[in-house]
Homo-oligomer: A and B are copies of this chain.
């Protein structure tokens, strides 16, 4: 249970960190399992009808005592029929098409590189809403269906109802094997939480206020113009056990040494303990006049290897220096990248297509590569023409951003007199 005496910043930092971990899990859950989880959540909502109505009664009594208008009280009120409708809405979301994994476009470059853009979840969505308790279930369902983790912050008038609905949702999704932290409810009605959520850059990816104009205005007061940029390019190459040794050597040396000052340069080399030619790889880098900072295993390979310090893993050298370590398989490599990476460009080298596809799916970076140099991370190389920059943010545009990233869209509706029934 959360300690309510802590600051809103600490609370949101803690919830955000949990949400981020849950989001990594959620991103890999199959469409079918997400649908099953929502159907289980709908069932749990129906099963909890009595408890939810009881909680709602507390909110209604407090609301009446506080002089809420009859319109507000009506929005707040839950009964059997309304809870049934909430559960049904969750089931309907389970049956919507899952956009995750959809191919947006694909192209083959003249040099044989095959590029594609694939839909992935945004990550962590913060929902700020008011007195309608059904938003707790609706927003959570939409967020989960699309593979995200959700942090819900409802209005104080509906707190007991929201908590009861949230508890039922969590029960349903955990029964279906989804992480409980994928749907969290902010356990305080302190208004400062809204500001803390807006300032949680890197922990929450987008804030969606759902409510009247005053709520939206309050949220937007603290808003800033969005920034499209990347802070670091800490690019990794993971050399898998089944990597072709010649290819590995060529790619690793090129990814580090072709130009050391660009954001797509490799900064960390992760070699699988089962890869038989690690020593040759390290020697190739050293022979190319690259300084290598390695863990004990790497240092045993060549006397020229320096000792790596903890700070190295998060350093973008932009110089002829690389940090290197052995890893115990892909899980270890991905965990290292998740801890120290910057979501810019990360690559796997392997002759095993199944391993490669797993890495491409599981690595959460703007650009993921298989058997190619990370130095290709560039708008020109991607065939986009001149680029305005590379984005490691998750909103609007990711990776190399060129002309298309400087546009948005509008919906054009052409009718012949249609009115809405």
Asked if B408 and A120 make an inter-chain contact with CB atoms under 8 angstroms apart, the answer reads yes
Closest to A389 in B: B208
Integer count of this chain's copies in the complex: 2
The verdict on A4 contacting chain B, using a C-beta distance below 8 Å, is no
Nearest CB of B to A81, in Å: 19
Nearest CB of B to A217, in Å: 6
B-contact bits for A386-398, CB 8 A (1 contact / 0 none):
1011000011101
Asked if A407 and B113 make an inter-chain contact with CB atoms under 8 angstroms apart, the answer reads no
Give the interface centre of A93, A119, A223 by most chain B CB atoms within 10 Å: A223
Chain B residues near A394 (CB-CB < 8 A): 408
Q: For window 215-236 of chain A, which residues contact chain B by CB distance below 8 Å?
A: 216-217, 219-220, 222-232
Closest to A92 in B: B386
Asked if B115 and A417 make an inter-chain contact with CB atoms under 8 angstroms apart, the answer reads no
In the assembled complex, the Cα of A24 lies from the Cα of B46 at a distance in Å of 51
In the assembled complex, the Cα of A356 lies from the Cα of B112 at a distance in Å of 45
Interface CB pairs A-B, < 8 A, 22: A99-B404, A112-B415, A112-B418, A113-B414, A115-B411, A117-B410, A141-B386, A143-B388, A143-B406, A146-B404, A201-B220, A206-B228, A207-B225, A207-B227, A223-B227, A258-B420, A368-B412, A368-B413, A371-B417, A372-B417, A375-B420, A399-B410
Chain A residues with a Cβ under 8 A of chain B:
89, 92-93, 96-100, 104, 111-122, 125-126, 138-139, 141-143, 145-148, 197-201, 204-210, 213, 216-217, 219-220, 222-232, 244, 247, 250-251, 254-255, 258, 316, 356, 360, 364-373, 375-376, 381-382, 385-386, 388-389, 394-396, 398-400, 402-404, 406-420
